[in-house]
Amino acid sequence: MDRETTLKVIEQKMEPFGFITQSDQYGGLITEPWDYPVNENIIERIINAYNLAISEPYDDIYDPNEMWQDSSRKRGDLHSALVDRNVDAVSELLNNFWGNECGQHLVKYRMMENRDDDPELFDKYLEYKMIYDLYRSALFSEKGEINTARFDVRTPAGNPYAMVMNGDFIVPASPHYLRWADYVGGLLVNNENPSAGELGGGIGLCAYFMLRDIPNLSYTNYDLPLVLAVNQFFLMHALPDQTFRLYGEGQTANIELLPHWSIEHHFAEFDVFLNFHSLSEMRRETVNNYLGWIGTKTKEWFLHENSGDAQQGYNQTPTPYWDIPNSFKLVNVTPNMWGETTYKEYLYKKVI
Ligand SMILES: C[S@@+](CC[C@H](N)C(=O)[O-])C[C@H]1O[C@@H](n2cnc3c(N)ncnc32)[C@H](O)[C@@H]1O
């Protein structure tokens, strides 16, 4: 499709949502840089944890597949800045992750590698996707309303594109992750000291909403060190009142953000374990190794959303190829509610 036709198609798709975009509450898309101040102490902790993590030997079963290796190569500037311990360069890269290569495959709806190629098209597409998500979340909410305050991610760490409604700041895919955070909150509702583990948490949007809304939650994320740097940057800036432990640090903390392979050595158990759009993007032996550890570390629930279809593109190992541990019983399967038709959400309960 050429550019003009693409623009027309997007405009047509936007038409049914005129009642949102023309309402008094709608403030449109913010695409200007926010100039959010970086905390240098956080950057130094990220640098130390990264260098320690990449110096440790680990089993190659944990290695990412081709696509994620390529994605690491594209984050090469971040890797170099971290290894050089260049605080300014790391700060500059991470503080713009929503728009630069650090956010690649993590920030939803980046139709183009570089917004500068065609800002008008990029912004129109993004606006359409965000409006669509808000509309879907209203359809599925109890009262059929869009409660924008709940989607608000006021901390503009990483320079997000945000859509403003009722004065609230909504970032791409906020509705997806808030919905999962609410789901997890429901699973943990009678638990006074709940714990959640996640593999491949990406930026950390689900974690952000969970930690904001679920009282006393402790949380651990395991991810590839270069992606983890983005996650640490976002969560540590967005949740300044929480306590964090990064790899190699000695203190105890509410939130632990650790390299992927450390799942094997980390002494922890979780009431719920999460994985979204991640395991199906790994090699089959990697998936099944992780499933073994998830089975061991999960006390009650395993909630994930991954590709349930035949192998396609970056979804190298869809769910039919997974060896789910016998200790899990499938409780529920739900189709993806955002129009991502290859994905399904699965809830398992630990029964042994
Ligand atoms: C498409 S992103 C999804 C991120 C996040 N769950 C979300 O839904 O926004 C895939 C995630 O899987 C992680 N990942 C890919 N290969 C991995 C591996 N071998 N071990 C651990 N994490 C991996 C990536 O670093 C990334 O965080």
The per-residue pLDDT for 315 is: 86
Task: Report if residue 246 sits inside a domain.
Answer: yes
Tens-place pLDDT, residues 85-99 = 999 999 999 999 998
Q: What is the CATH number of the domain that holds 245?
A: 3.40.50.150
Q: What is the DSSP string of 6-34?
A: HHHHHHHHHGGGHHHHTSTTEEEEE-S--
Which pLDDT band holds residue 112 (cuts at 50, 70, 90)? low
Identify the band that residue 269 occupies on the pLDDT scale cut at 50, 70 and 90.
very high
pLDDT score, position 111: 59
Q: Are residues 193 and 341 in the same domain?
A: yes
The answer to whether position 98 is within a domain reads no
Q: Is 304 in the pocket of ligand 1 (CB under 6 A)?
A: no
Alpha helices in 75-161 (DSSP H): 76-83, 87-94, 119-140, 148-151
Q: Which domain holds residue 143?
A: 3-35+106-172
| Amino acid of residue 116 | D
| Position 239, amino acid | L
Residue 45 within any structural domain of the chain: no
Q: How confident is the model at residue 224 (pLDDT cuts 50, 70, 90)?
A: very high
Q: Is 343 in contact with 306 (CB distance < 8 Å)?
A: yes
Residues 209 and 130 in one domain: no
Q: 263 CB less than 6 Å from ligand 1?
A: no
Cα(13) to centroid(ligand 1), Å: 30
How much is the pLDDT for 312? Answer: 76
pLDDT at residue 65, rounded to an integer? 95
**285 and 204, same structural domain?**
yes
Q: Mark whether 131 and 244 lie in a shared domain.
A: no
The whole-number average pLDDT for the span 42-51 is 98
Q: Indicate the average pLDDT of the chain.
A: 94
Give residue 259's region: left, alpha or beta (phi > 0; psi -120 to 50).
beta
Collapsed DSSP state (helix, strand, coil) of residue 325:
coil
> 27 and 140: one domain?
yes
CA of 202 to the centre of ligand 1 (A): 6
Instruction: Give the domain-ending residue among 172, 195, 227.
Output: 172
Q: Please indicate, yes or no, if residue 89 is contained in any of the structural domains.
A: no
**What's this model's pTM, rounded to 2 decimal places?**
0.96
Considering the domain architecture, whether residues 293 and 154 belong to the same structural domain is answered as no
Mutate to test the pocket of ligand 1, among 58, 67, 68, 228 (most ligand atoms within 8 A of CB): 68
Number of domains forming the structure of the chain: 2
Residues 6+ positions from 54 with CB-CB distance below 8 Å: 83, 225
